[in-house]
Each structure stands twice: as structure tokens, then as C-alpha cells.
Structure 1
Amino acid sequence: MQTRLVAYEALNAVQKQQVGAIEVHPQQLPFCGDMYCALNTLLVNPSPGVKGLALLADEVPVAFLLLKRAPCQPHWADEHSATLHALQVDRHQQGRGFGKACLQALPAAARLAWPQITALELSVDSDNVVAMGLYLQQGWVDRGEAYKGRVGYERRLALLF
């Protein structure tokens, strides 16, 4: 199966409709949100500081994520980085390596969007053992800082280029 991470605006009409139908498991919603919220962030008030990316598997969207830069990135982010948000792998496609494929393709896609960035950053719930393991396995580094998030304590991770 061929995968590639592409900008939302490069998708055709059918693929955009398929992105809108991506659903995560209900217990994941507090952590990553849903597609309605993610697409609302991307499309309602377009900003050069927000990019949507879809992972295509044989040209069918199976995952989606947002990247943010100033002025849209969180206050805790370094000004030379982009931040990862709303990573969602369709619940019917989970466990097939698509989250890993997103993370592996992400540095090149982020640098294509913003060549000046030197890192990616994210925030993840410290109790989300699966996500923490995936990020750390892909080379992200725990910055050693935790803070009270919406659900529980969150860890900040970075991937330096």
C-alpha cells in the first residue's frame, strides 16, 4: 500500500469529502478532537499559520492533522518551530501503521510548508501511553515539562531537524 502526506488544498473534491468522514474512537475525542473541529480550524478563518495535511493510502484519506505556526501556534511553542495538532487516524484504519506513516512523512511536509522552521513540537496527554510510545519511537524528545491540560497533565515533545 502506497502512502503519502499531502496538503488539504491539493485534495480533489471526493478526497476532501472522505477527509470529512474520518472518525476516531469516542475515547480519543478529548485528546484529538473530531474532524468537524479540525476542518473548522483550517477552513473557517484561513490563515497562513495553519496547514492541514491528509495521509493518503492508495489515494484514499486515512488520517489528518494540522500544523500551526505563529500567530496560530500555542504560547509554549518555540518561534522557530511548527506545532502538531489534531492528529486523527480513522478508527477503521487504526493499528495499520498510518500514525507512524504520518510522523515519518511530517518533517518533509512541514519544511515544504515553512522552510525556515527548525523543529516540530506537540503536546500529548501523559496518560496516553500509546501516543507517547509512538512519538518517542519516531525520535521525538520529551522536553521534561508537564502542565495541566484540558484532560490531564500534558507533556511537550519536540522533533529537532
Structure 2
Amino acid sequence: MQTRLVAYEALNAVQQQQVGALEVHPEQLPFCGDMYCALNTLLVNPSPGVKGFALLADERPVAFLLLKRPPCLPHWADEHSATLHALQVDRQQQGRGFGKACLQALPAAAIQAWPQIKALELSVDTDNVAAMGLYLGAGWVDSGEAYQGRVGYERRLRWVFGRCGVGLL
């Protein structure tokens, strides 16, 4: 199966509709939100500081994520970074490696979108064991800092560019 991470605006109308229909398991909603909120963030008040990406598997969307840059960065992020938000793999597609595929393709997509960035950052709830395992397994580095988030305590993870080509993945 061929996968590729594609900017939302490059999707055709059918693929955009399919992205809107992606759903996660109900217990994942507190951590990643739903597609309505993610697309609302991307489309209602468009900003050059927010970009959406869909992971296509054989040209069909199976996952979605947002990247943010100033002026849309969260308070905890470094101004020279882009932050990862709302990573959602469709519940019918989970367990097939699509989250990992998103993370593998993300550094190149982020650099193409914003060549000036030095790192990627994310914040993940410490109770979201599956996500923590995914990110740490893909080479993201825990900053060692935790803070009170929306749901519980969150950890900040970082991906630094330039150590091995585009990224470490």
C-alpha cells in the first residue's frame, strides 16, 4: 500500500469530503479532538500559521494532522518550531502503521511548508499511552517537562531537524 502525506489544499473535492468523514474512537476524542474541530481550525479563519495534512493510502485519506507556526503557536512552543496538533487516524484504519507513516513523512512536509523551522514540537497527555509510545518510538525526545493540560498532565516532545538530513525519522 502506497502512503503519502499531502497538504489539505492539494486534495481533490472527494478526498476533502473523505477527510471530513474520518473518525477516531470515542475514548480518543479528549486527546486529539474530532475532524469537525480540526477542519474548523484550518478553514474557518484561514491563517498562514496553520496547515493541514492528510495521509493518503492508495489515494484515500486515512489520517489527518495540523501543523502550527506563529502567530498560532501554543504558549509552550519555541518560536522557531512548528507544532503538531490533532493527529487523527481513522478508527477503521488504526493498528495498520498509519500513525507511524504520518510521523515518518512529517519532517519533509513541515520543511517544505516552512523551510525556516528548526524543530517540530508536540504536547501529549501522559495518560495517552498509545500516543506516547508512537512518538517516542519514532524518535521524538521528551523534554522532561510536564504541565497541567486540558485533560491531565502533558509532556512536551521535540523533533530537531538537521542531525541526519531532513530529520531523524
The two structures have a TM-score, normalised by structure 1, of 0.99
Describe the SS at the equivalent of 2:150.
Answer: coil
Describe the SS at the equivalent of 2:145.
Answer: strand
Task: Name the residue aligned to 1:69.
Answer: 69
Count, aligned residues: 161
Unaligned 5+ segments in structure 1 are none
| CA shift for structure 1 position 20 | 0.1
Unaligned 5+ segments in structure 2 are 162-169
Task: Name the residue aligned to 1:159.
Answer: 159
Task: Name the residue aligned to 2:139.
Answer: 139
Describe the SS at the equivalent of 1:52.
Answer: strand
Distance in 2 (alpha carbons) for counterparts of 1:95 and 1:77: 29
| CA shift for structure 1 position 118 | 0.7
Task: Name the residue aligned to 2:27.
Answer: 27
Distance in 1 (alpha carbons) for counterparts of 2:42 and 2:130: 26
Q: Give structure 1 regions of 4+ aligned residues with deviation exceeding 6 angstroms.
A: none
The Cα RMSD (Å) is 0.4
Task: Name the residue aligned to 2:79.
Answer: 79
Q: Does 131-140 or 90-99 show the bigger shift?
A: 131-140
The two structures have a TM-score, normalised by structure 2, of 0.95
Q: Deviations over 1:67-113 (max 9, x none)?
A: 00000010110011000000000000000000000000000000000
Matched, 1:102 2:86: no
The alignment-based identity, stated in percent, is 88
Task: Name the residue aligned to 1:43.
Answer: 43
Describe the SS at the equivalent of 1:127.
Answer: coil
